[in-house]
Structure 1
Amino acid sequence: MKVFVLCALLAAAAAWPSFSFESHSLDGFQSDASDVPVAKRQKDVNHLLWKVYDHLHFDDLKGYAESFDPEADTSMYKDGGEAVHHLVKELKDHRLLEQHHWFSLFNERQREEALMLFDVLMQCKTWDCAVHNAAYWRERMNEGVVCVSSLYTAVIHSDLGHGIILPPLYEVTPHMFTNSEVIQKAYTAKMTNTPGSFHMEFTGTKRNKEQRVAYFGEDIGMNVHHVTWHMDFPFWWEDKYGHHLDRKGELFFWVHHQLTVRFDSERLSNYLDMVDELHWEKPVEEGFAPHTVYKYGGEFPARPDHIHFEDVDGVARVRDMIITESRIRDAIAHGYITDKDGKVIDIKNDRGIDKLGDIIESSMYSPNVQYYGALHNLAHIMLGRQGDPHGKYNMPPGVMEHFETATRDPTFFRLHKYMDNIFKEHKDSLTPYTHEDLDFPGIDVESIAVKGPLRTYFEDYEFDLRNAVDSAAGIADVELKAHVARLNHHDFSFVADINNNNGNEVVATFRLYLCPDFDSNGERFYYENGHWHCIEMDKFWKKLSPGANHIERKSSESAVTVPDVPSFQSLIDAADSGSFDMHEFERACGIPNRMLLPKGKKDGMDFSLFLAVTDGSYDLTHPDVDSEHGGTHAHCGAHGEVYPDKRPMGFPLDRKIPDRRVFDETTNIKFSHVKVYHDDSKLTTVGH
C-alpha cells in the first residue's frame, strides 16, 4: 500500500517543476512546469524510478529524505496540511504496510493507504513540496510496484507532467513481466559479474492448447497497455482530484471489448475456438501456472485445472457474485438503473452504456455501489485467490490481482467475455440503427482497400533487466537483458476513394474495422452474428473536397495504437544531455502499434475490412478537425478533455443488425475482403 502511495507522490513530483536543492525555503517556487526544462523534470523522474526497491541512489534525493519534515510548513499544501497530517499519523501509529512486502491495488486497506499519499501529492503547491515528499515517503513506505503505478498515474493526470516520458514498466519492475527462471539467471549473472541476455519463454507447453496464444496475453507491450489504461482511468478516481474522466464507464466497456475480440481473432488465427465466457456455477477447466515471482513475497500462485469456484474468505461468496450479476441483468431488462437515492436513470439510450460500465467496473462513478456491487473488481480477486481461497497457505495475490499481470492468465479473457456478454445484452436491447441514423447524404464510398502487405511475423525483442536485481555499494551494474519473441507486422496503409456530391467541403469521420469472416468451424459470419467480433483499426477525421477524394492512412497513424516507449537507459541519456523532446511518446495508453493486425495464418486468414464515413460536423466534439486528440483517443480518450466523438463507441457496429440491407443501401459504408498472412520464417532481433 505504501508503495502505491509513495509512487503516486513520486509521480506527481515528477510532473512538477524542478528546482535547486541549495535553497531550502519552500516559499516562492512556481508550480508551472513550463518554468522548468523538460530535461530537468525528466531527470528527476528517472532518479525517483531507478531501482525502486533499493534505497535512493542519488545524493540530492537522499538529502531530501533525511532532512525534510512534511508537517513543518503546511502553507505549501493547498489543504493546509490536512492530508499530510493524516498520513504522518498513520506512519507514527505503525499502521502502514512494511517495506519488502507485496502490494495489490485490489487490497482495500493497501489501496486506502495509497490514496492517502496520492492525496498528499495532489495537495502540494510546488515542485519543492512534491519532490521532498516523494523522497521522504519513498524511504519510509512500501516500495512495491504499485508505488510505480501511482507515480505513473500522478504524472499522467497532472498538468505539470507535460513532456515527461514515463519509462517502460517492464524495465522498471521486470519481475512483474518476466518469468522466475530469467530473474534467477539475472541474479547469477550479477553475482558473477557476467553480462548476459536470457531468453524468456511463454508459460505452458505444447500439450496446453492455450500456449498457442500465450504470445498475446503475455506480451509485455499488451501488459503495459492494460495497466496503463487503468492508470488513465483508475476505478478509484474521484473528481476531487481535479477533473472528470469523460465517458469513463463506456471506455471501460470498449477497451475490454476490444481486448476480447482481438484475443478471439488470435485464437482463430491458431485454429482455436473463440474464448468461452466464465460461469460462476461451472468449473474453470483451464489452470494456469504463471512461472512468475514477486520481488518480495514469493511466487505468484498457480491455479489447477478443473476447479469449482469457492467462496473467498473476507472478500465475497460465489452466491454474492451471482446476485450482483442478476441485479445488473435486471436493470438491463427494465431499461433503467436506480441510484443510491432511489432516482431512476434511463439507460435505453446512447449514454446508458456509460452508466452500465461504471457499475460493472466497480468505479467510484457508479450511481449505486451498495446495490449493484463491485462485479469486476471482486471477480478479479475471486479468480486470483482460487488457489488458496481460505488463506490456509498465506499465499500472495494471484496474477489477476494486478493490472500488470492479469492478461497473462487466459481466464482474464473468459472473465471479460462474461462481462462483455452482459454489455452485449444491453446493446441488443437498443433499437437497431436505421438508414437515417447511418446515412451521410452526398457521400459515396467507391472503394476501401489496403496498400502494402497484411503480413505478420515474430521478432526477437530485447529489454533491460538491471532493475530486477539488487544493488550493493561499490559493485557496478553489469549488462543484463531478456529477449522474447513478439508479434509484429509490416507497414501498410488503408486507402479509400470517396465522392463528395454535396458541392461544398464537408468534415468526415472515418471508422475502420477488421472483422473475421469465419469461425473455427469454417462457418461464415454475417452482419447479424459477426458485428460483435470486429476489431477497431482506426478512427480519424478528414475534410472532403467537392468531387473525388483519395484518402490514404498509414497503419502507424492509427488512433488505437502507440509506439514502443524508449528504453529507460535512453531516457536517462537524453535527460542527462540537457536537451529533451520526446513528446510523441508522451501518451502510452494504447495497443502496441506492432499488434494492430491479428496474427493471421500462413496461407491467409479471411477478414472483412469495413469502412463507415459519417458526418464529422455532427460527430466531433471539438472544432479542430486536424487534431489527433492525443493519438490514441479511440480507446483512451483525450486526456483531461471531452471524448472527441459524440457517437457511441463501436458505432455503427455496436447494435443488433437484423437486416443487412440497412448497410448495403447506405452509400457512405463499404467493405471489402482481405487476407492476413503470417510469415513463420522471419525472426529479427530488435531492442532498446
Structure 2
Amino acid sequence: MRTVLVLAAVVALALAGPAPTFHKDISQINVENVDATIVEHQYKVLELLDHVNQVNTEATYYKVGKAYDIQAHVDKYEKPEVVSNFYSFYENGMVPKYYQFTIFNDNMREQAKALYDMFYYAKDFETFYKTACWARVHVNEGLFLYTFYVAVVQRADTTGVVLPAPYEIYPQFYASLETINKIYYGKIRGEPFEEYPEYGIMKEGNNHFYYQNYSDYYTYGDEYKISYLTEDIGWNAHYSYFHTVMPFWEDGDKVAHGIFKERRGEVFYYFYQQLLARYYMERLSNGMSEIPTFSWYQPFKQGYCPFLTSQITPFAQRSNNYVMQNKYSFEDLRFVRSYEDMFLSFLEQGQFTAYNKQIDFSNSKAINFVGNYWQCNPDLYEKISQRRNYYNSYEMAARRILGGAPMNFKYDEYEFVPTALDFYQTSLRDPAFYQIYNKIFHFMSQYKQYLPSYSQDDLHYVGVKVNKVEVSKLETYFDFYVYNASNAVYYQNQELISGSDKQYAIMQPRLNCNPFHITINVKSDVEEQATFKVFIGPKYDSYDNEISFEDNYMNFVELDWFSQKLSKGENVIVRKSDDFFFYKDDSISVGDIYNLLAKNQLPTDMMYNYGHLPERLMLPRGTKSGFPLQVFVAVYKSQGVPKEVAETMFFMDEKPLGYPLDRPVTKYFLQPNMYIEDVSVYHRGNEYPTSYDVVHPYVKPVSHPQ
C-alpha cells in the first residue's frame, strides 16, 4: 500500500465571486469598513490587474484607455512636463509588448520612471485611473504592472486600496517551470481533465489544483535544505513589497510622501540586517555553515539552477565554481572593486567631503548617507544635480556579474536572458543574493564601528527593572497553502470577456508556527509610558560554540515593538504573537477581496501592513529536540514622534531602528531594564516538506493497491 495526496478540505474553499477563494475563512482575519470612494477605487484597481498579460477588449479599462488622450489633458497633471517627457520615449519606441521587463535594465528603467511620473503627478484619482487605463492598453505588460503597482502604493489618494499579492498577479515568478508547464498543459488540453492524485494533479468542480514542492539538491546543492524559506511565496513577496515602498530610482521626498527622506539610508541598512539575520537563523537550524563569503577575484562556488521561466525565456543557470572574469564583466568587476575601496577610504578619513556634502562618520545620523551610498539612490548626490547615480549602481553590477546569464545573447536592446537576480520577486531564491548583501552589510557595519557604544547612562532606565521573561512553547510545522495561479495561463478572448469559470491553483507546503505569547514581569518605581522591544537571535554559531552578546548583537531579529503604560510596583505584560508589530497575516486571495468588497470591507493587513513579513515566518524551523535561541527584551522611556510620522505605522519613536542593538555592544551593555531568556524552538511532523506522505490540514491519506 502506498499513501498519496488527495484533495479534501479544499472543497470548502470553493468558488465565490469572480475568482476562487483559497484561504482560511475570512471571518478569522481583521477587516476594516471602507467608504464608497475606496470601494469604487478598489474595483477599478482590481480590474486593471486582472490577467495583466492579456487585454480584455470588453473590459471597462480597455474602453477608457482607447478613448483617453493624455496629451489633450496636460493640464490634469501637476507637472505638465512629465507628459512631454513620457511621449519623447513613446514616440521613439519603448520596450515592445510581450518582452520581459526588468527595472535593472537602464532603458526600461528610464521608461518606467517616465510612465510612473505621469501616474504620480496626476492631479486626482480620475486622471490617474484614465492614465493607467491608457497604459494598460498601449505599453508593455511588465512595464505597466511595475509602475502601476508602485504608484498605487505611493499616491496619497490610493491609501487604503489593496493590491493583490504579487504571487497571484505573476505566478511564473513563484512557481517552478515544471508546475507552470503542468498548468499550461491542463489548460490547453481542456476537458476531460486528467487527474493524477499520486502526482498532485486534482480537480474539484471548476478548480484545478497542482501540487508543488520546493527545489532539491539539483537546484541548490546543500542549500536545498532551506529552500522552503528561500522559495517561500511570503518571504519573496516581503522583499518585493519593500522595493515597492522604497524604489531605489525615486527621489526621497517623493517616497512615502517624504516621510523616510532623512532616514532612507537607515531603513535600507535595517531592512537588510533583519533579512540576513532571519536567513542566518534558518541556516543554523538546519546545521548549515555561516553565510559564505566570496572574492571578486576567485570563482564563485555556489551554483544555482532556478528552473523558472519568464513569459518568453527560461531563467539562466549558474554553474558551480562560476568564473566571474570574462570580457563582458570586466567593467562591472572594476567598478565594484573601486566602489568598495572608495567607501573604505571614506571610513579611514572618518568623513566624506564632496558634492557639497560633509558627512562625519562619528555622527549616528551618517547611517543615512551610508545606506544611500550602498543603495545608490538619487538622494546620494541630490545637492549637486539631478544625477541618477544608479547608472553606477553597486547592487546592479553585482547582480549582473553573479546572475550567470550569457551577455552576448541579444537581438536588440531589450532582449536578455533572465536570471533570478533580475527581479525582486525571485532574488531571494538565489544563494548568491545573500552573499552579495552580506558583503554590503559588512561594509555598512564597518561604519558602525566608528560610533561610540551606548554608555550605561544611555541605556539605563532609572527606576525600571525587568524581573523575568517567560515565553510559551515555540513550535513550528509544515502545513499546506493554496494560492490562485490562474494568471499564469492565457485565456481565449471569449473566456476573458465572459469570465472563465475554470481556475488554476497551486498547493504548496510552507513553514508555519503555533501562536505563542511572551510574559514580561517589570518592577517600576515610576508611572509613565514605556517602550518595549523584543528580539530573538541565535545562542550558538554553526560550530556549536556559544556566541558572546558582543559578537551576536547584529544577528537578532526584532519581533515586537510596543508602548505600555507602567504603574508603580509590579507590572505583568503579556504579548501575543498575533499582535507583534513587524508581522502580518498572509495575504488573502483576490476572490476573498471581492467577497469583502461586497460588504464594503477590506483586509486590514493588506491595506496598511502589506510590507510586513507573514507571522508564520517569525520563527526559524525548530528541531525535534529543540533549536536553542535567545529572546532579548529591552524597556526604555517612550518618546513622541510627529503625527505624520506616527501615521506611517513604521516608526514608534525617533530612536535608531533596531535600538538598542543598532550599535556594537560592550560587556557592560546589559542593564536592569533588559533581560535575556533562553528558549528552544521545537518542530513537529516531517523535518523537510519533501514528501507527499504527510497528513496536512488540506489533505487526507488514501490507500491504493500496489
Same fold (TM over 0.5): yes
- 1:207-249: per-residue Cα shift (whole Å, max 9, x none)? 8210001111111101100010011111112146353524111
SS in 2 for 1:165: coil
Q: How much does 1:39 deviate? A: 1.7
- Helix, strand or coil at the partner of 1:540: strand
Residue identity in the other structure for 1:220? I
Contact 1:102–1:396 at 8 Å: present in 2 too? no
- The Cα offsets for residues 253-306 of structure 1, whole Å up to 9 and x where unpaired, read as 1111111111111011001012112321222111101110002x3111111100
Percent identity, aligned pairs only? Answer: 25
1:235 partnered with 2:248: yes
CA deviation vs aligned residue, 1:435-463 (integer Å, no higher than 9, x gap):
11111111111111213x20001111111
Per-residue Cα deviation, 1:310-342 (whole angstroms, up to 9, x for no partner) = 35748943122111001112222322123323x
* Structure 2 residue aligned with 1:266: 282
Distance 1:598 1:628 in 2: 30
Kindly indicate whether residue 341 of structure 2 is the aligned counterpart of residue 326 of structure 1: yes
1:501 maps to: 525
Q: For the residues of structure 1 that align with 2:549 and 2:57, how far apart are their CA atoms? A: 58
Change (3 A) 1:57 1:41: farther
**DSSP-derived class of the 2:543 partner:** coil
The alpha carbon displacement at 1:99 in A equals 0.1
Deviates more, 1:666-675 or 1:391-400: 391-400
2:631 partner letter = L
Amino acid at match of 2:660: P
CA distance in 1, matches of 2:138, 2:569: 67
Question: Measured at CA, do residues 315 and 478 of structure 1 come closer, stay the same or move farther in structure 2, by a change above 3 Å?
Answer: farther
Match of 1:662 in 2: 669
Query: 1:252 and 1:211 mapped to 2: Cα distance?
Result: 28
Q: Deviations over 1:460-494 (max 9, x none)?
A: 11111111100103343412111111110000011
**Could you tell which deviates more after superposition, 307-316 or 64-73?**
307-316
Does 2:422 correspond to 1:407?
no
* Alpha carbons of structure 1 residues 494 and 44: separation in structure 2 relative to 1, 3 Å: same
Query: Which shifted more, 201-210 or 671-680?
Result: 201-210
* 2:169 maps to 1:172: yes
1:527 paired residue among 549, 565, 568: 549
Shift in alpha-carbon separation, 1:98–1:232, aligned structure 2, 3 A: same
**How big is the shift at 1:90?**
2.6
Q: Distance in 1 between matches of 2:558 and 2:300?
A: 30
Moved more, 257-266 or 387-396: 387-396
- The answer to whether 1:447 aligns with 2:447 is no
Q: Give the direction of change, closer, same or farther, for the CA distance of 1:390–1:322 in structure 2 (3 Å limit).
A: farther
Contact 2:303 2:321 in 1 (8 A): yes
1:128-147 equivalences under 5 Å are: 128-144=126-142, 146-147=143-144
| 2:358 corresponds to | 344
Sort the Cα spacing of 1:200 and 1:312 in 2 relative to 1 into closer, same or farther, 3 A: farther
Match of 2:350 among 330, 335, 340: 335
Q: How does the TM-score come out when normalised to structure 2? A: 0.84
Shift in CA distance, 183/315, structure 1 to aligned 2, threshold 3 Å: farther
Name 2:99's counterpart in structure 1.
101
Report whether the alignment pairs 1:112 with 2:110. yes
Rounded to whole Å, the distance in 2 between the matches of 1:64 and 1:90 is: 22
Please say if residues 56 and 139 of structure 1, whose CA atoms lie closer than 8 Å, have aligned partners that are also in contact.
no
Task: Report the 3-state secondary structure (helix = DSSP H, G, I; strand = E; otherwise coil) of the residue aligned with 1:522.
Answer: coil
Looking at structure 2, the residues matched to 105 and 565 of structure 1 have their Cα atoms a distance apart, in angstroms, of 24
Paired amino acid for 2:81: E
Match in the other structure for 1:607: 629
Tell me if the contact between 1:461 and 1:484 (Cα under 8 Å) persists in the aligned partners. Answer: yes
Give deviations 1:84-119, integer Å, cap 9, x for gaps.
2332343233x2110000011011110100111111
Specify the SS of the correspondent of 2:72: coil
CA distance in 1, matches of 2:561, 2:434: 25
Q: What is the CA-CA distance between 1:202 and the residue it aligns to?
A: 1.9
**Structure 1 residue 468 and structure 2 residue 484: aligned?**
no
Correspondence for 1:382: 401
Figure out how many residues of one structure are paired with residues of the other and give that number. Answer: 627
Aligned-residue offset at 1:82: 2.2
Higher mean alpha-carbon deviation, 271-280 vs 604-613, is at 271-280
Equivalents in 2 of 1:370, 1:35: separation in Å?
A: 40
**Structure having greater relative contact order (Cα 8 Å, sep ≥ 6):** 2
Please state how far the C-alpha of 1:680 moved relative to its aligned partner: 2.5
Q: Distance in 1 between matches of 2:57 and 2:169?
A: 14
Counterpart Cα distance in 2 of 1:417 and 1:584: 30
Aligned to 1:149: 146
Match of 1:649 among 657, 662, 675: 657
Aligned to 2:418: 397
Matches of 1:382 and 1:83, distance apart in 2: 34
Mapped to 2, the partners of 1:380 and 1:42 lie a distance apart of 35
Aligned match of 1:249 = 265
AA at the equivalent of 1:124: A
Distance 2:289 2:349 in 1: 33
Call closer, same or farther: CA 1:210–1:139 in 2, change over 3 Å: same
Query: After alignment, is 54-63 or 429-438 more displaced?
Result: 54-63
Measured in 2, the distance between the counterparts of 1:123 and 1:202 equals: 42
Task: Provide, for residues 586-618 of structure 1, a one-character-per-residue CA deviation record: whole Å limited to 9, x for no partner.
Answer: 12101111001111222101111111101213x
CA displacement, residues 486-525 of structure 1 (integer Å, 9 cap, x when unaligned) = 11000001110101112xx212111111121111211111
Listed as ranges, the matches of 1:283-302 within 5 Å are 283-295=299-311, 297-302=312-317
In the alignment, the residues of structure 2 paired with residue 549 and residue 312 of structure 1 have an alpha-carbon distance, to the nearest angstrom, of 66
Aligned counterparts of 1:370 and 1:471: Cα–Cα separation in 2: 40
**Matches of 1:427 and 1:683, distance apart in 2:** 48
Deviation of 1:662 after TM superposition, in Å, equals: 3.4
1:355 aligned residue (362, 369, 382): 369
Distance 2:98 2:393 in 1: 29
The answer for unaligned runs of 5 or more in structure 1 is 1-33, 638-642
Report whether the alignment pairs 1:275 with 2:294.
no
Going from structure 1 to structure 2, the CA distance change for 1:245 and 1:648 (only over 3 Å counts) comes to: closer
Conserved 8 A contact 1:163-1:582? no
Report what 1:221 is aligned to. Answer: 234
1:480 aligns with 2:488: no
The 8 Å contact of residues 284 and 306 in structure 1, kept in 2 or not, is answered as: yes
Aligned to 2:60: 60
Query: Could you tell me which residue of structure 2 aligns to residue 184 of structure 1?
Result: 181
Structure 2: gaps (5+ residues): 1-33, 194-202, 687-693, 700-706
After TM superposition, give the deviation of residue 42 of structure 1 in Å: 0.9
CA 1:523–1:45 in structure 2 vs 1: closer, same or farther (change >3 Å)?
A: same
Which whole-Å CA distance do the structure 1 matches of 2:549 and 2:641 have between them? 29
> Of 306, 309, 314, which residue of structure 1 is paired with 2:321?
306
Give the 3 Å change call, closer, same or farther, for CA 429–89 of structure 1 in structure 2: closer
Structure 2 letter corresponding to 1:228: Y
Runs of 4+ residues over 6 Å off in structure 1:
368-372
Per the alignment, in what secondary structure is the counterpart of residue 670 of structure 1?
strand
Decide which moves more: 580-589 or 102-111.
Answer: 580-589
Give the Cα separation in 2 of the matches to 1:683 and 1:330.
Answer: 57
- The 1-side partners of 2:74 and 2:669 are apart by 64
Q: Secondary structure at the match of 1:496?
A: strand
